[in-house]
Amino acid sequence: MRLERARLQFFIVLTLSALTVYLQWLVFQRFLVRNCTATRQAHALLLHVIQNLGISASSSVDTIPLSPRHAVVRRLSSSLLSHTNCLPTLSRRGRRSLEFSLHANTHTDGVLLYIFSIIGARNRIAVELHSNDDAKICTMFAVHQGWRVVTLVESWAGYDAAQRWYEQKATHALSRWSEAGVQVLDAGRVVSTGLPATTRTVGIGGVVDLVVLFAHGGDDIAIMSSLNASLKPRVLVVRYEDYWGSHVKAVRTSLRRGTLSERLEGAQGIGHDYSGASVTSLTEVAARVGYRLVWCLANEPIAILVDCKAGAGDGLETVDPASCIKMRNTGTKWRRDMEAMWDEAQEYDWDEYS
Closest CA to 290 of 223, 353, 227, 198: 227
Q: What is the residue-wise DSSP string for 158-186?
A: HHHHHHHIIIIITHHHHHHH-SS-EEEEE
Query: How far is C-alpha 28 from the chain's CA centre?
Result: 30
CA neighbor of 139 nearest in space, from 169, 172, 184, 179: 184
231-239 vs 206-214, strand pairing mode: parallel
Q: Residues 6, 7, 10, CA angle at the centre, nearest 5°?
A: 85
Q: Residue 275 has what pLDDT? A: 66
Does this model's pTM top 0.75? My answer is no
pLDDT given for residue 306 in this prediction: 93
pLDDT of residue 268: 41
| Contacts of residue 280, Cβ cutoff 8 Å, sequence gap at least 6 | 244, 246, 247, 248, 249, 321
- 243: three-class secondary structure by DSSP: helix
How far from 6 is each of 1, 12, 17, 60, CA to CA, in Å?
9, 10, 16, 13
What is the mean pLDDT of each successive set of 10 residues along the chain, which is 354 residues long? 70 71 53 42 49 38 37 44 40 56 67 84 84 64 78 66 59 48 68 76 84 77 82 89 74 53 38 67 89 86 87 72 72 63 60 49
127: nearest Cα among 4, 233, 241: 233
- Report pLDDT for 224: 85
Confidence at residue 102, expressed as pLDDT on a 0 to 100 scale: 57
Backbone angles phi, psi at 236, to 5 degrees: -120, 135
Burial 30-57 (b: 16+ CB within 10 A, else e): eebeeebebbbebbeebbebbbbbbbee
